Amino acid sequence: MNNIFLKISNRKISCAGIFLLLSTGFIFNSCMKERLKKSEAFFEGNGDVFVQKKKVDGEILYAPHYYLHGNNSIHSASVETPGGEIVELKPYEFLDTYIKKPGEEDFTPSMIPIGLYNFTGTFGDNETFEISDEFYAHVIDFPKIDSVGYDNTDYHIYIFWDKVNDAYIYKVKLLDETGKVVFEGPALTSASNAFLIYIDTDGWTSSPYKGDIFTLQLHAFSLDDSGDDNNWYYNIECDAYTETQVMWGG
């Protein structure tokens, strides 16, 4: 168990802590759990850095994904990379979660830096916290799609794939022509190799119509050494995904 130092104002508290999700995703001796106490204030949080891996025109590209979650509202948050770059995080849905998802401009042919990523931020009455996560670059292969299409008899999109070594979960997403995610399926176990999407399947944010063309993404996630069934979402190491096109209504 690693010893972590967390700051409250100008004080340092030594705290042995680990544990974590993702998820987002989200590498690492990762996602160490920190607990801060000062009077009545206390902060418990999880930070995760993982690499997203995709292929464009035959070239493999990588980008970092940052995730931070706490038990209290976070006022501000950033992460310092092993190279000293400061990356600002933004609230995601609620103020207890801050993230930075990669944009297209963030993907490069180079692996993201290996080493310690330090999350810092403020909460409560301008109190501060520090959380560290280590990225080791243990990546996995892309999931290979066997078949995908639309079933005009049972009215659903189907996808079948070959299982990936060391993949912990799979996820299927649909993006519209603007790149917006309009469907995100549940976390599927490592034993899964197929998924069906009906119009009433949970995960739609808008209804599909006949002739709609979607980008289907099949994601395979691996965990760092700290990940298990109880905290996998805070301990993602790699998200390798494959894309293809599919039409609703065949």
**pLDDT tens-place string over residues 170-194:** 999 999 999 999 999 999 999 999 9
Q: Which residue has the higher pLDDT, 208 or 226?
A: 208
Position 19 pLDDT exceeds 60: no
Contact 22, 63 (CB under 8 A): no
Superfamily covering domain 144-222+239-247? Immunoglobulins (2.60.40.10)
Looking up tokens 């065949």 gives 250
pTM to 2 decimals?
0.80
Distance CA 94, CA 92 (A): 6
Give me the pLDDT at residue 41, please: 57
- Cβ atoms of 35 and 41 within 8 Å: the answer is no
Tokens 């010893």 identify what position? 3
Residue 127 has pLDDT above 70, yes or no: yes
Mean pLDDT of the chain: 85
Residue, of 48 and 11, whose pLDDT is higher: 48
Segment 217-246 mean pLDDT: 90
pLDDT band at 44 (very low <50, low <70, confident <90, very high): confident
Tell me the per-residue pLDDT of 54-84, one tens digit each, with 9 for 90 and over: 999 999 999 999 999 988 899 999 999 999 9
Confidence of residue 42 (pLDDT cuts 50, 70, 90): confident
Higher-pLDDT residue of 211, 11: 211
Segment among 18-22, 98-102, 143-147, 190-194 with least mean pLDDT? 18-22
Q: What angle do CA 158, 222, 227 make, to 5 degrees?
A: 130
Average pLDDT over residues 150-156: 97
CA-CA distances (angstroms) from residue 239 to 128, 150, 193, 203, 248?
A: 30, 26, 17, 19, 26
φ/ψ of residue 167, rounded to 5:
-75, 135
Check whether 29 has a pLDDT greater than 80: no
